[in-house]
Every structure is written in structure tokens, then in C-alpha cells.
Amino acid sequence: MDSYSATIIDAVEKVKTAVVKIEIFNNTNKKEQLSGTGSGFLFSSDGYLFTNSHVVHNSTNIKVKLHDGACRQATLIGEDPDTDLAILKISDADFTPVKLGDADQLRIGQLVIAIGNPLGFHHTVTAGVVSALGRMLESQNGRMMDSMIQTDAALNPGNSGGPLINADGEVIGVNTAAIRGAQGLCFAININTAKEIASQLIRFGKVKRAYLGIVMQQIELVPKLRAMHALPNKQALFISDVATGSPAEKAGILSGDIIHSFNNRMIETSDNLFKQLTEDKIGQFHFIGILRSNLKKEFRITPVQRN
């Protein structure tokens, strides 16, 4: 067997029993009818699993079909439409979960594998590469999701919520969308973002986040700019839009600015910034480091509670 095939087979073997099919039922004329399907994966031995918010939104009857065909009733622990993530819980068994990786270690061109249930075909495997990192994508509620992983591993309806794994069988993304009418333009939610969201959904049932009012895209910093300002960053966040009336606009931040730090902590990815924007930051002023027209500036910004 060739090494490429062996790598994929070994990676899939490590996670396949943790990948599940999500089934949504509605009661019509007192009969239970299947109204939608998706994918998910177990990340804890006591039955917590990831899926997409758009798979389970407004659903009251959710069932999970395991790899061996067994079916479990699921409880929706919480969902976050802004990142298209949801956490479900099933019980009555000791599960073997996936291993969660580190998306910050991903490189463009790296092998990735998607597993899910596209168009009802149970446990389908596709493979491709990381096509790009730090992409932005509009969520179901119209807000922009950043730090997305772009891949050409084929995704179809029903793949939503399934894992994107690396060659070691570690989950590095939650599959969420394909661009209709295009080929090889598929996206997954960065697993580092998903970890942070899961922590809040399990604790609070919702996500409490401080809001700045900016749309960002991860970029590489050119060596000349890094050397000019003695920055440790290799990457930073390019601001492509500033919301009207937002804390960012009030602070004087503009589209085209580049964020390199928050409260003197280096910021290279949106996940770095998200970890800083905790509930305790709301209503308090903080310092945000900006590069503007090759000049290094610092602004005071006061995050607000996101509605």
C-alpha cells in the first residue's frame, strides 16, 4: 500500500468511532418524521459532542446515530450562531472521544481529511489540503466568522458539524460549509475557536463575549515592518471593516488598520484576540496596538456586551 493511502487510513481509524450522524425529527400528525441530518463528533468520554448551530437550531427532538448503528437521544447544551457551533450531550455509554489538535500549527498545503454523512451517506471520508488560513465567512445570522480554515476536501450537505482531521488523526476543524456553484471551496471552523466556545457553552449554555465591532482577517507581517517596530509577531489581524457606533469606531480605529497587540499581549490570530475578550473586559478600557501606514499606534478601547 502506498504511504499516502496508509496515512489516511491510519488517521481515520483513530477517530471513526467518535464520528456520529445527527438526525432532526419533527412531529407531524402525531408521527415522528425526519426533517434534517448533519454530522458531529464526540470530544469527551462522557458524551459531549460538537456539531453546527445551523444543524440543530430551533430543534427539540435530536437523535444521534453512533458508528455501530446505535441511536441515542441528545440534549442541546447550547449553541452559538455567531460561530455556527453547538454542543450536544448523549449518555448511557463510555465513549472514546477524538483528540483535539492545535489549529495554530496548521500550514497551507497540509493534508487534511473530512469525515461525515453527506447526503445521508453514513461515514464518508474525503481528503484534501489546507487551501488557506484565516478566511472570513458569513454565518447563518449574517455576522462574519473569521479565522476559518479553507480546504478542498469535499464537503456536501450533511457533512456539517463533522470533523476535519490532520494526518495524526487530531481534529483541527469543525466542517461547516461549501460554496455553492464552486468546486473545492470548503470551510471549517478553527478547532481553537471551537474549544473556547465549547467551554462557555458547557458552563453557561451561551457565549458571553466582549464586542469590539471589527471584521478581521489574519495576515502575514512583512519582515521589514516587523523589524521597523521590533515586533515579535509573524502574523497580525487586518481590519477590513469597522461597525458604525462600535467601540472600535469610538476608539478611532479605522478599516485598514492592523492589530498586533491587546493589553501589550501579542495578537497573531483572531483566536488570540478572542481569548482576551472575556466577560470581565466588558465596560473597562484596554489598550490595543495598531499599525497604520507603517506607524505604530496605541488606542484605548472599551468593549461592550455583544447582543
Whether residue 289 has pLDDT greater than 70: yes
The lowest-confidence range among 39-43, 90-94, 124-128 is 90-94
Q: Residues 39, 53, 82, 84: which is the catalytic one?
A: 84
Contact call for residues 41 and 14 (beta carbons, < 8 A): no
**Could you tell me which residue, 272 or 187, shows the higher pLDDT?**
187
Q: Which of 82, 88, 76, 95 is nearest to 50 (CA)?
A: 88
pLDDT digits (tens, 9 = 90+) for 146-179: 789 999 999 988 999 999 999 999 999 999 987 7
Q: Residues 39, 160, 261, 270: which is the catalytic one?
A: 160
Percent of the chain with pLDDT over 70: 98
Percent of the chain with pLDDT over 90: 70
Give the pLDDT confidence score for residue 304 in this predicted structure. Answer: 93
Contact call for residues 63 and 25 (beta carbons, < 8 A): yes
Neighbours of 278 (CB within 10 A): 14
Active-site annotation holds for 160: yes
The lowest-confidence range among 25-29, 68-72, 214-218 is 25-29
Whether residue 265 has pLDDT greater than 80: yes
Strand, helix or coil at 193?
Answer: helix
Whether residue 141 has pLDDT greater than 70: no
CA gap 99, 232 in Å, rounded: 30
- 3-state helix, strand, coil split of the chain in percent (to 5) is 20, 45, 35
Q: Mark 91-106 as b/e (b = at least 16 C-beta within 10 Å).
A: eeeebebbebbebbeb
Q: Residues 39, 54, 131, 260: which is the catalytic one?
A: 54
Whether residue 239 has pLDDT greater than 80: yes
Active-site annotation holds for 92: no
CA gap 111, 272 in Å, rounded: 24
Neighbours of 60 (CB within 10 A): 10
The cell 450536544 sits on which residue? 88
pLDDT digits (tens, 9 = 90+) for 103-124: 989 999 999 999 999 988 889 9
Mean pLDDT of all residues belonging to the chain = 91
Strand, helix or coil at 98?
Answer: coil
Count of residues for the chain?
307
Q: What's the grid cell of residue 15?
A: 477517530
The lowest-confidence range among 29-33, 59-63, 78-82, 138-142 is 138-142
pTM for the model stands at 0.79
